[in-house]
Structure 1
């Protein structure tokens, strides 16, 4: 197995190339393999980022299949989990398998690779702008808002750990509405939360990547100007490939 725990080495101009792809949805009974794609991205980039929904139903075997395909990846891998990875109640097993495979799996933490700080949380729902869901009414609504606020707080705590001069934020849920444009308007509140963008804009951030919105749009930005990229596998990207290539 390649030693992907080593830091990436920047190119001659100090640029780190990031390959990013979300929503792989690895299934235990599917014939799809990402081995060739991981090998290709290893040749194109210095670091691979996977923003959630790594598995389809959060089953341990799905995580094992992903780990097997990642043997073809020779560069560091940074990831967060998505909502699908929680479906079967096996988060600890899924997480353990991926960490054993050398993945930097972030859940409110930061890791520095090649002079870039990677900060990751899953994020949560809640809606955007003045129409964000407020903590009012039934306990179930208040619990949902509390979870959204908690994810934003965990992101802020992780951001404060970074000492690198460049930072990439890795999320599953979207921090802005621009990158979910194309999805039905009725489900916008379930695709992300502006609370994440509010946190991001308190810091100097080079870029943000997320997934989750399969029919969304590739690029947007936070109110503070941080670039945001929806790198879900099915979203069209400038590369013409399922993955995005970013220079940090």
Structure 2
């Protein structure tokens, strides 16, 4: 039968559709072939990504071990980082950072406890320190091996677990575990091949240790001498043992609801490092408030006062302050401008559960050439002390009184158990009589620029006081000193007051004078700057 004229367009349309379908099918086939070509690459990327994630998680969660290093019990771990180094955590002192190696791993040591007898033996006997040096180095080496094995095991296990969850095949799971092992081994190898033993003498510091930059000792070239390296490592442990043994003493009163921690500072005298020192102590000892007994500035000029007072903004806790004889009205105004600063002048306030009274030094004597007569100055100081006494009596008592010059405290003897002061640039703990103990702080600013003129440079000094939250009685105090210009020591002396010697404001109402002064106080030493 002949094809009609009308059938030709239909055949042409079907043919065109068939050609279009063939072209689309061909393009899909080419795309499928191209994808199959890239598929191994995508799988490889996925395997590497999963393995890297496993390495990071394995290191964070499992690469750790307990280690004894000399007198210390430490927790040693390996953490991922973008630059290789060693971090030594020494709570509450801060951190020591050593540029010890390259690579993506950080070795971290945290000191958890100290064998006090061994530490004291190292401090007291230099020969024992030499004998211990090789042992300390061996302890470190053995611990490094253990933490490396722990890192390899934890990352491999993480690779197997995560690989099984992502890919759900035995082969790819095994590949993830193997790749995690290889990646970790490569990172450990990079660290091992780039170890710099001389880094032990080139530390960086964080926290309180920032203010004792030679606690490890003077920088030396160790080269590859193992014995020299071991001895220096031993010296490092010895240098921090005494401080750490005291700082971790079980008699320390923790930051809890039963104890109020007060940081006592005084006489910053424009020292630019003083504010950082105060901030470090405040953070490391978790204090509840700071008590500053004045002489923040030197000349009290408006510019000096406003610029230097900015440092108080670094402190995150209430800051109770009284004016010193080097502080002007500009200093008072500058300090008062900060919300967390409490300026006392004949006032009694409740701060963090402690009743604190304070009065300003009535003098402004920045220059020794322009001083009032000694008789007139003494009368001014005693009058201010009388004003403070009246404020305490009107309030019904106080736990602590704050003055700048300890001479001002004479009228409040028997009215308050603790008097904080400064001015002398020498720390003195003194029983003043009638149940009152005077605590004169050294210069937290090391006397500022005056220290450059002194034959015996001063240390930066401060104290942490521990008060009973129920009675307000002083339970203990830590005296902290950090090396002066040209010196390199850092020390902490803890004084725990026996319960029978603790004095609260309520005890003063029916006070009976003891035959001897409490054991934790001593006769004052006079030195004025």
TM range (shorter): 0.5 to 0.7
Per the alignment, residue 18 of structure 1 pairs with: 262
CA deviation digits over 1:8-60, x for unaligned, max 9?
A: xx8321x2111011110116xxxx24342232132221110110111011122
Decide whether the 8 Å contact of 1:124 with 1:173 is kept in 2. Answer: no
Q: Does residue 226 of structure 1 match 2:436?
A: yes
Per the alignment, residue 470 of structure 2 pairs with: none
Per the alignment, residue 57 of structure 1 pairs with: 299
Which of 397, 402, 422 aligns to 1:211? It is 422
Per the alignment, residue 381 of structure 2 pairs with: 148
Per the alignment, residue 178 of structure 1 pairs with: none
Which of 334, 339, 359 aligns to 1:97? It is 334
Per the alignment, residue 158 of structure 1 pairs with: 391
Q: Does residue 84 of structure 1 match 2:326?
A: yes
Task: Return the alpha-carbon distance in structure 2 between the equivalents of residues 142 and 57 of structure 1.
Answer: 24
- Unmatched 5+ stretches in structure 1: 1-9, 126-139, 175-191
Task: Return the alpha-carbon distance in structure 2 between the equivalents of residues 107 and 66 of structure 1.
Answer: 21
Further displaced range: 140-149 or 111-120: 140-149
Task: Return the alpha-carbon distance in structure 1 between the equivalents of residues 374 and 274 of structure 2.
Answer: 39
CA RMSD in angstroms comes to 2.7
Task: Return the alpha-carbon distance in structure 2 between the equivalents of residues 147 and 54 of structure 1.
Answer: 21
Task: Return the alpha-carbon distance in structure 2 between the equivalents of residues 144 and 39 of structure 1.
Answer: 34
Q: Does residue 47 of structure 1 match 2:279?
A: no
User: Higher relative CO (CA 8 A, sep ≥ 6), structure 1 or 2?
Assistant: 1
Which of 404, 412, 420 aligns to 1:200? It is 412
Decide whether the 8 Å contact of 1:108 with 1:154 is kept in 2. Answer: yes
Which of 115, 137, 140 aligns to 2:353? It is 115
Which structure dedicates a bigger proportion of its chain to helix?
A: 2
Are the structure 2 counterparts of residues 68 and 33 from structure 1 closer, same or farther at C-alpha, using a change threshold of 3 Å? Answer: farther
Number of residues of Structure 1 aligned to a counterpart in Structure 2? 189
Are the structure 2 counterparts of residues 57 and 123 from structure 1 closer, same or farther at C-alpha, using a change threshold of 3 Å? Answer: closer
Are the structure 2 counterparts of residues 65 and 141 from structure 1 closer, same or farther at C-alpha, using a change threshold of 3 Å? Answer: closer
Task: Return the alpha-carbon distance in structure 2 between the equivalents of residues 95 and 235 of structure 1.
Answer: 18
Which of 392, 400, 406 aligns to 1:168? It is 400
Per the alignment, residue 179 of structure 1 pairs with: none
Post-superposition offset of 1:159: 0.9
Decide whether the 8 Å contact of 2:445 with 2:460 is kept in 1. Answer: no
Are the structure 2 counterparts of residues 101 and 84 from structure 1 closer, same or farther at C-alpha, using a change threshold of 3 Å? Answer: same
SS in 1 for 2:433: coil
TM-score, normalised with respect to structure 2: 0.33
TM-score, normalised with respect to structure 1: 0.67
SS in 1 for 2:419: strand
Are the structure 2 counterparts of residues 40 and 61 from structure 1 closer, same or farther at C-alpha, using a change threshold of 3 Å? Answer: same
SS in 2 for 1:208: strand
Per the alignment, residue 133 of structure 1 pairs with: none
Are the structure 2 counterparts of residues 57 and 76 from structure 1 closer, same or farther at C-alpha, using a change threshold of 3 Å? Answer: same
Decide whether the 8 Å contact of 2:444 with 2:462 is kept in 1. Answer: no
Task: Return the alpha-carbon distance in structure 2 between the equivalents of residues 53 and 38 of structure 1.
Answer: 15
Per the alignment, residue 466 of structure 2 pairs with: 247
Post-superposition offset of 1:206: 3.5
Decide whether the 8 Å contact of 2:268 with 2:444 is kept in 1. Answer: no
- Unmatched 5+ stretches in structure 2: 1-254, 364-372, 447-458, 468-529
Decide whether the 8 Å contact of 1:123 with 1:171 is kept in 2. Answer: yes
